[in-house]
Structure 1
Amino acid sequence: MNIPSKKECFKLIKKMAMMDHIIDHSIMVSNVTLFLSLKLKKHFPDLDSRLAASAALLHDITKTRSFDTKENHSETGGLMLIKLGYPEVGNIIRQHVILDSYETDFPVSEQEIVNYSDKRILHNKVVPLNKRLEYIKLRYGSNKEFKDRIQIMWKNTLNLENKIFCQLDITPNQLSECISRKINKKDWV
């Protein structure tokens, strides 16, 4: 399996001219992903924390340009990483907005952790799930189709939260206390 290093991730982020606030968001998603995957590894030893953290760092790799192109950034970001020789990373990125499946009776996967972590970060802060999903409703829920999709996503994400946290010794509300709020890009390079 080919996984980009942190340095390689930041080279790609720079090449793609990601906006600073999207970089800050991505770093926090990666921090939460790394924390959760390391905690969950006790129960799911096959979890690859490095794979999950790299995919989380790159999950919005095409988001900046999507503001102009209107492309689906999860699809194009996933495809980009696949073409660069990182198919597992690309598959996780492709699923960071909507998972291919929501299965509660299978082990927690890297794509589930990245998907959930992204939904817990509002800008660059860990927030309760309902606060982030309210923001998503305000930002993207302008028509009925999107409102319906957001409702389904809300239900699926709550189930995913239960799946993740039933294995942990912390509650979802305690997650923000466990994650450093200080973003330091130089630590990642």
Structure 2
Amino acid sequence: MGQLIPTRQQCLELMRQCRMLPHIVRHSKVVADVALLIAHKLNTGGQSLDIALIEAGALLHDITKTRSIETKENHAETGGELLASLGYPAVADIARQHIRLDPRLSVPDALSEAEVVNYADKRVKHDEVVDIEERFRDVLERYAKRFPGLQERLREVQHETRLLEQKIFSRIDISPEEIKVIL
């Protein structure tokens, strides 16, 4: 029996039920566009990524972000918990890893759905496709004062994202810069 993955329409309904702020909904839709473009390119090149899982994971990666603005909770964790409780464990894993990937789950010769969504999220500032440097600059400016030690963690995540970018784009026929042009 296959894993349960919500359709795009079910994802949009869940976003509405969770009262996601409109700008977070727009961000999530652009992340999905980037992730789907990359996933289709990777699959054309021989990967076998689950497109429906990537779309659901990208749309729902920030499912508890709206409430986290007030609660200060880790929205990657609470999003994962919510999605798991709804019967979507594979989507929950993507939500949990959208900020930082679990290195134990990465394999050198293949890409996972979580890696594709994680990278796509790092390329979208609000609802605009940008390069990694601009995205990390924005995150630092918005969150550095509220989260001590963020600058060092961001440096590590930015380095990890650069390595992931190399892993992705060594397997497809477009460059990172072309994503913005294509979309």
TM-score range, shorter chain: over 0.9
**Alignment match of 2:79 (pick from 54, 77, 80):** 77
Moved more, 84-93 or 103-112: 103-112
**What is the CA–CA distance in structure 1 between the aligned matches of 2:7 and 2:107, rounded to whole Å?**
31
Q: Establish whether residue 118 from structure 1 lines up as the match of residue 121 from structure 2.
A: yes
Q: 2:149: which partner in 1? A: 145
Q: 1:162: which partner in 2? A: 166
Task: Kindly state the Cα deviation for residue 4 of structure 1 after the two structures are TM-superposed.
Answer: 0.2
Contact 1:16–1:62 at 8 Å: present in 2 too?
yes
Q: Which amino acid counterpart does residue 152 of structure 1 have in structure 2? A: E
Name the TM-score, length of structure 1 as normaliser. 0.91
**What is the CA–CA distance in structure 1 between the aligned matches of 2:37 and 2:128, rounded to whole Å?**
15
Three-state SS of the structure 2 residue aligned to 1:172 is: coil
Matches within 5 A, 1:18-167: 18-101=20-103, 103=106, 105-142=108-145, 145-167=149-171
Identity score, percent: 41
Task: Kindly state the Cα deviation for residue 15 of structure 1 after the two structures are TM-superposed.
Answer: 0.5
Q: Deviations over 1:121-158 (max 9, x none)?
A: 01111111111011111112235521110010010000
**What is the CA–CA distance in structure 1 between the aligned matches of 2:148 and 2:13, rounded to whole Å?**
39
Q: Deviations over 1:37-85 (max 9, x none)?
A: 0110123432101101111000100000001111100000011011100
The list of structure 1 runs, each at least 4 consecutive aligned residues, that deviate by more than 6 angstroms after superposition, is none
Q: Deviations over 1:143-176 (max 9, x none)?
A: 5521110010010000000000111111111110
Q: Which amino acid counterpart does residue 79 of structure 1 have in structure 2? A: E
Task: Kindly state the Cα deviation for residue 20 of structure 1 after the two structures are TM-superposed.
Answer: 0.3
Q: Which amino acid counterpart does residue 97 of structure 1 have in structure 2? A: I
**What stretches of structure 2 of length at least 5 have no aligned partner?**
none
**What stretches of structure 1 of length at least 5 have no aligned partner?**
180-189
**What is the CA–CA distance in structure 2 between the aligned matches of 1:26 and 1:70, rounded to whole Å?**
20
Q: Which amino acid counterpart does residue 164 of structure 1 have in structure 2? A: I
Q: Which amino acid counterpart does residue 108 of structure 2 have in structure 1? A: D
Figure out how many residues of one structure are paired with residues of the other and give that number: 179
Three-state SS of the structure 1 residue aligned to 2:103 is: coil
CA RMSD of aligned residues (A): 1.3
